[in-house]
Structures are given as structure tokens and as C-alpha cells.
């Protein structure tokens, strides 16, 4: 079942990509006590994700923070090394890169997807959410192949 607005995020392990290497963190700790703009992509370095999704949040980071966002985070079913390299390549120092290597987070919130037809296995659907102290305030899930409601621009309109 897909998570809904008003529900608390499940507690699973994510891995932050840092300049010092991977840093495991429980989602309950990561989201505690702050307002987070979270967006998820099917894969790092993939076309829409690299050309539009991540760059939009990088470009709009100051505007999101001015509207009350404490942290911006990108999650993908990739390992922390890939997420770190993608973050460095995209110039995203304002975006925390979170690895969901085994899709545990995507599965726990019911937003996993089967990308086996593309040789990618289990991935995350494309979505965004505003999370306040671990509770989902807004949830924007894209339809297959779409990029509209999970954009930074759409999220700015929700704040």
C-alpha cells in the first residue's frame, strides 16, 4: 500500500553520500525535527533525472529554503558511491544524496517499481514529498514516463 499524506514515514536504513564516504542513517533520524523536500528518481545519471529533476532542485534550493524547507534530499535505488558521484557531477551541494541500494525505502512506502524491462530491476517511482518531522505533508507521484508534479517548481507552489 502506498503511503499517504498525514502518515509517518517507516523507519528504514538509508545511506547518505558524503565527502568522507557512505554514512548509514535511519530514516527516522534523518527526517526528525525538520522539514524536508524529498524527491525520488528511478536512477542516478538517467536522462530525465539528470537533465531535469536533480537540476531543478539544485536551481530552486534557495527558494525552497526561503519557504521553510530545512533540507532538500534526493533518494534513488543506487549505491552511495553512485549517488555521491552524481551529486558531485550535478553540483548539488544543497541537495543531500540518499542511497536506497536495496529499494527498502521505496518498498516500505509502496512506491517501488519494476524496471526489469529496462535492465534496471526494482527501482523507485518518480515522486516528491514534503516531510515535516517524519510525517508526509504533501505527496506527488508521477505517472509512468511523466515529469510534472515531482518537480521543484511544483513543490514551490505547494509551500
Task: Please state the rounded mean pLDDT for residues 6-31.
Answer: 95
Q: Is 74 a catalytic residue?
A: no
Catalytic hit among 38, 49, 97, 130: 49
Q: What is the pTM of this model?
A: 0.93
Q: Where are the domains of the chain?
A: 13-158
Distance CA 97, CA 18 (A): 8
pLDDT class for 121, splitting at 50, 70, 90?
Answer: low
Q: How far lies 89's CA from each of 26, 34, 60, 85, 149, in Å?
A: 26, 27, 17, 6, 25
The CATH number of the domain covering residues in 13-158: 3.40.30.10
pLDDT tens digits, 19-76: 888 999 999 999 999 999 999 998 888 767 666 788 899 999 999 999 999 999 999 9
Amino acid at each position: 500500500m502506498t503511503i499517504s499524506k498525514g502518515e509517518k514515514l517507516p523507519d528504514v536504513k538509508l545511506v547518505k553520500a558524503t565527502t568522507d564516504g557512505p554514512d548509514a542513517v535511519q530514516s527516522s533520524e534523518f527526517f526528525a525535527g525538520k522539514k524536508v523536500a524529498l524527491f525520488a528518481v528511478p536512477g542516478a545519471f538517467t536522462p530525465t533525472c539528470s537533465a531535469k529533476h536533480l537540476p531543478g532542485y539544485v536551481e530552486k534550493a534557495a527558494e525552497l529554503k526561503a519557504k521553510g524547507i530545512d533540507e532538500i534530499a534526493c533518494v534513488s535505488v543506487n549505491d552511495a558511491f553512485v549517488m555521491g558521484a552524481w551529486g558531485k557531477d550535478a553540483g548539488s551541494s544543497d541537495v543531500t544524496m540518499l542511497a536506497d541500494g536495496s529499494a527498502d525505502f521505496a518498498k516500505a512506502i509502496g512506491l517501488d517499481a519494476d524496471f526489469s524491462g529496462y535492465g534496471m530491476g526494482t527501482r523507485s517511482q518518480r515522486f516528491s514529498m514534503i516531510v515535516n518531522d517524519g510525517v508526509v505533508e504533501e505527496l506527488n507521484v508521477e505517472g509512468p514516463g511523466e515529469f510534472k508534479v515531482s518537480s521543484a517548481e511544483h513543490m514551490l507552489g505547494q509551500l
